[in-house]
Structure 1
Amino acid sequence: MKTLAYIPSPTISEFAVGPFVIHIYALTMLLGIVLCVWILTVRWKKCGGTFDQVLDTTLVAVPCGIVGARLYHVITTPERFFGPNGDWVEIFRIWNGGLGIWGAIFLGALGAWAWCRHKHYPMALLADAVAPGLLVAQAVGRLGNWFNQELYGAPTTLPWGLRLNTEGTAIGQSEVCYDGSTCPTGTLFQPTFLYEMIWNLVGAALLVWLGHKTVRKLKAGSVFAMYVMWYTAGRTWIESLRIDFSHEFLGLRINIWVSIGVFIAGTIAFIIIQRVGTYTDVLSEKLRAISEQERKAQQHTK
């Protein structure tokens, strides 16, 4: 039966500009970071902050996040980098894919927290401001998986199934079916990259709406906790569709267990925040005072 509708896969995952090779995966990451910083800046300024504060925090958090993302992938798939079939140099080739969101969030948040503590910025306020931007960045980053032709789901007959190609430079072209079996020509696969893109963009819009509606009812940090719960809820079911190699525990992929655990942690954090947290208005006043002090200090040094 001929398939009448499907999502095609790109034939390239990189291109050359003179002597330089540009990886599309890296471009999607950069675009995601730029959009996240822009969203954060708009929301942070409304809270009384400045772009300079966002820029300084970003310069600390982003490198920490990238290192954390790579470390998570290395830890959860060590056979790719160590052992008889591993190549430890591959650790540094992040353009070939392999970044774990959990490591990115953990080390990125740790770096941001350390900087905020140093500068006395309200971390809960920053977390709420960046939450929608993180979902947008993660959505854009999934386009990199599409160009790399990787992390797709099981075979499907749905009209929006993903069709792979065996030409070009996409790194996933040799991973058809992943388990070593041969799929019939024209087999379509669940486009998990698209599912997560849609889930994340809907979540970003929802967080902005809920944050606006509940700003005087919920404590600062609540929006970030909701981000954690929303993303992990979606990641749990999307992860269950994927067929790329993953270590399992009790019949479930490790990332599913991590998603469940982080969802529970996010729920507990949300409850604790309501009990011991501070309202956004109070922290905004503190941030405005800090911003004013920094502005005066900058004028004094000119």
Structure 2
Amino acid sequence: MFAIAALNPIAISFGPFNVRWYGIIIATAVLLAVWLAMREVHRQGLNEDLVYNLILGAIPIAIVSARLYYVVFRWNYYASHPGEIIAIWDGGIAIYGALLGAGLFIWWFCRRHQMSLWQVFDIAAPTVVMAQGIGRWGNFMNQEAYGAITSHSFLAHLHLPAVIMQQMLIDGAYRQPTFLYESLWDLLGFVLLLTMRHSNHLFKRGEIFLTYVMWYAYGRFFTEGMRTDSLMLGPLRVSQVLSVVLCVGALVVLIYRRRADQNLQWYDVENAKGDN
């Protein structure tokens, strides 16, 4: 048995400038998500120019907030290495930071332009979780977001392709492919949410988004517990704490809306326009 080199995280080099697979994969996931979301926007008859403006504002805010979130919880390191704060191409973004930043912007934008917030969230939710699932493969290329030390036999028992097992050989030891567990969970969530969105009179406006929050937070709680590079707040893993808050909070909101507002619109595939 012989060792196989890890995959090169750099896709293209132009002199001193490197284009990393991490950035290519993330960008591809975002573009695919935007394309799929805009198809649904068109189907539901929303103002496409207005939604494009929303997207053009939400994406950079998501990137900045994702990086700030990561830097804040790694401040002991970045305080001594301030020049690396902007080095987003090397990895180091937090999806929860992106979701919180973009979510606040979408809330503000919808209020300002009198758009249905729940409708926008329902359109975005399936494509966002799909992008998250694809984006985890950027972590794969960077050999990050992995779990504890394991054995080659354990990975082989999972029937993983050789390329994944070789990439999980990090610092002389095989690692749990937690990036893969989360990617598969996210892509399964994408299928679930699309199925919900195409089911007549089973779900009410906003419940696709709330299901997304619960689905992602539930899965992230467990994958985060397996990782060795978690952002910490004292003895607590930040993402696990936030996952519990979001999962429980989304469930409470879903139940409350069902009980408190009998006029909530059922999701209708043929007539998807919603209220606030």
**Is 1:103 matched with 2:97?**
yes
Candidates 261, 283, 289, aligned match of 2:245: 261
Distance in 1 (alpha carbons) for counterparts of 2:177 and 2:7: 13
Q: Which residue of 2 aligns with 1:296?
A: none
Out of 193, 202, 221, the position equivalent to 2:206 is 221
Q: CA deviation at 1:15?
A: 2.5
* 2:116 match: 122
Residue 261 of structure 1: how far off its partner (Å)? 1.4
Determine if contact 1:139/1:200 at 8 Å carries over to the other structure.
Answer: yes
Matched, 1:67 2:38: no
> How far does the alpha carbon of each residue in 1:179-228 deviate from its partner, in whole angstroms, 9 at most, with x for none?
xxxxxx4x321111111111101000001112222x52432111000000
Matched AA of 2:191: A
Deviation at 1:154? Answer: 1.1
- The 1-side partners of 2:252 and 2:234 are apart by 24
Q: From the superposition, tell whether residues 133 and 71 of structure 1 become closer, same or farther in structure 2 (CA, over 3 Å).
A: same
Q: In 2, are the aligned partners of 1:10 and 1:146 still within 8 Å (CA)?
A: no
Shift of 1:283: 7.2
> For residues 7 and 258 of structure 1, do their structure 2 counterparts lie closer, same or farther at Cα, with a shift above 3 Å needed?
farther
2:38 to 32, 37, 41: 41
Tell whether the 8 Å contact from 1:145 to 1:151 is kept in structure 2 after alignment.
yes
Following superposition, the deviation at residue 8 of structure 1 comes to 7.8
Partners of 1:54 and 1:264 in 2: CA distance: 30
User: For residues 24 and 34 of structure 2, what CA distance do their matches in structure 1 show?
Assistant: 15
Q: Taking structure 1 as the reference length, what is the TM-score of the superposition?
A: 0.78
CA pair 262-7 structure 1, distance change in 2 beyond 3 A: farther
Deviation at 1:56, TM superposition (A): 1.1
Structure 1 vs Structure 2 CA RMSD? 2.7
Residue among 221, 226, 234 paired with 2:219: 234
Checking the alignment, whether the CA contact within 8 Å between 1:74 and 1:81 is kept in structure 2 is yes
**Counterparts of 1:144 and 1:94 in 2: how far apart (Å)?**
12
| TM superposition shift of 1:113 | 1.9
TM-score (norm 2): 0.85
1:244 corresponds in structure 2 to 229
- Cα distance in 1 for partners of 2:213, 2:4 equals 29
Change (3 A) 1:13 1:263: farther
Partner of 1:204: 190
Q: Describe the SS at the equivalent of 2:204.
A: coil
For 2:248, the aligned partner's letter is I
SS at match of 1:240: helix
- Residue among 68, 73, 90 paired with 2:84: 90
Q: Which runs of 5+ in 1 are unaligned?
A: 167-172, 177-184, 288-302
Q: Indicate the residue corresponding to 1:192 in structure 2.
A: 178
Moved more, 130-139 or 67-76: 67-76
Q: Alpha carbons of 1:164 and 1:248: their partners in 2 closer, same or farther (altered >3 Å)?
A: farther
| d(CA) in 2 for partners of 1:234, 1:7 | 32
Mapped to 1, the partners of 2:5 and 2:135 lie a distance apart of 18
Give yes or no for the alignment of 1:21 onto 2:18.
Answer: yes
- Greater radius of gyration (CA): 1
Q: Compute the displacement of 1:43 (Å).
A: 1.7
SS of aligned partner of 1:21: strand
Cα separation, 1, equivalents of 2:145 and 2:130: 19
Compare 49-58 and 99-108 and name the one that shifted more: 49-58
Sequence identity percentage = 31
Could you tell me which residue of structure 2 aligns to residue 32 of structure 1?
A: 29
